[in-house]
Amino acid sequence: MSKRVTCQLHGQQETAFVCVHIADAPGKRIGFWWYAEEEVGYEAHCDACEKISVELSEQAWEAYDRKVARDLCLACYRKAAELNGVALD
């Protein structure tokens, strides 16, 4: 079973993981580089984090990603994706 979070807007939802920049910028277009893995679920990071990810080694990126990762409800995740022109379906 997936981890769940209680969202102030959407109630109990499955958790998605995003960078702090997406979590702290509701309603803003800052990029949405996403992927989904069976073990982890949905994840996304912004344009700034994407730029950093290609400049770092895999180990350094994983350490950075752990520092900036935040839980976000799946409904908010889908809204952020849509705002940034990303269709998840």
pTM for this prediction:
0.88
Amino acid identity of 26? Answer: P
Amino acid identity of 43? Answer: E
Asked whether 68 and 18 are in contact (CB, 8 A), the reply is no
Asked whether 44 and 33 are in contact (CB, 8 A), the reply is yes
In tens, the pLDDT along 3-38 reads 899 999 999 999 999 999 999 988 899 999 999 988
Residues 6+ apart with CB under 8 A from 42: 16, 17, 34, 35, 36, 74, 77, 88
User: Which whole number is the average pLDDT over 31-54?
Assistant: 92
Residue 1 has pLDDT above 80, yes or no: no
